[in-house]
Structures are given as C-alpha cells and as structure tokens.
Amino acid sequence: MKELIIATTNPGKLREIRELLKDLDVKITSLSDYPDAPKVEEDGKNFAQNALKKAATIALYTGKLTLGEDSGLEVKALGNKPGIYSARFAGNGATDKKNNAKLLRELRGVPLKKRGARYRCFAALVDGKRVIDVVSGSCAGLIALKGKGNNGFGYDPLFFIPRYNKTFGELDPDIKARISHRAKALNKVKKVLKKYILKSF
C-alpha cells in the first residue's frame, strides 16, 4: 500500500483530511510519524506557495508522496485579512480562541451583511522526484456576530453559512465534509491521487 504523508502537525486538520481521503487505498501518516523531519517555515506570499513548500520539503526529506495543505480565512471588510496569517492572526502560537476574539474585535460595528468572507484551501502533492499537482477549493460565508457551536476548529464557530443558517461550528460534520473549502480541494486531490497510484504500479 502506498504511503501518503500529510505535512501537518495540526490534529484538527489531519482528522478532516483522513476522513476526506478514507476511501483511498493509501496509508496516511503525518509529521508526528516523522519527528525528525525539518520544520517548515510558512513564509510564502500566498496559500499555494506555503502548501507547495510544505509538501516539497517533506517529500525531499522522506522520498515519499506528500500532501502539503495551506488554508485560511479571507474577510472582505478587512481587505482579505487574516489570509495566510489565519493561524497566527492574534500572534505566534495564538489559540483558536484568541484568533476568533481578535477577528470579532476588528469587525466590531460591521453589520452581518457586510461581513462577507471565504475560507480558502490549497493542496500540493509532491513525491520524491516532482510536483504532481496543486489544487484549490473555497467556500463563501459570513462572519457571525458571535461564536456558535463546538464542531470543527479554527474560525469554524464564526463562519456562518446562510443556506443552512448555521456556523461551521454548528453544522453537521457530514454536511461540512461536502461543502467546505478543504472538501472541495481534497476531492480534486483524490482524482489526482487515483491517477498517480494507477501509474505507479
């Protein structure tokens, strides 16, 4: 069975990716299985560069098929911030709670209808020899006036989907697994992986 390393230490992200790729015939590992792997500094100018850097660094180190993923939240009223700084919006090592609190502070006084936002996800597949593909997905919504729900992670309690009248934090995980930015990107990853695995044998 082919091994696929997910270049992340984020348990929430890893859980979602495992779930979305569960029907593929691959053994999924992560950076926790490679404690000596080099630490990747996310210094790209956009999500795609960061995803590619993660995947390429770990693929070169291990010689194995690697998925690098970078995602975040863009809020229109804030000039698409936090963007690539989503995980450290409230400072390096910030918790989800602190990031969410900062986002609400920055949007204080902005009415719901002007709180348009989108989650974006870029995923890069690299093996020991080449870049296989870089794909993306996005999901549009609004930033709620206060956090609701305990599902998901990151900004999920604030990311409101009008069609369901719920935040990602309240949404049934099965629905999120169909409509989220990560789901859309990983559905594309699946197609690429299936072709790649067939060619490998």
Residue 85, SS3 per DSSP: helix
Q: Which residues are catalytic?
A: 70
Strands 81-82 and 159-161: unpaired
Contact, 69 vs 185, CB < 8 A? yes
Contact, 180 vs 162, CB < 8 A? no
d(CA 71, CA 94): 16
For every residue of 113-160, which 3-state class applies, written as one string? Answer: HHCEEEEEEEEEEECCCCEEEEEEEEEEEEECCCCCCCCCCCCCCCEE
Q: What angle, 0 to 180 degrees and rounded to 10, lies between the N-to-C axes of helices 11-20 and 181-200?
A: 60
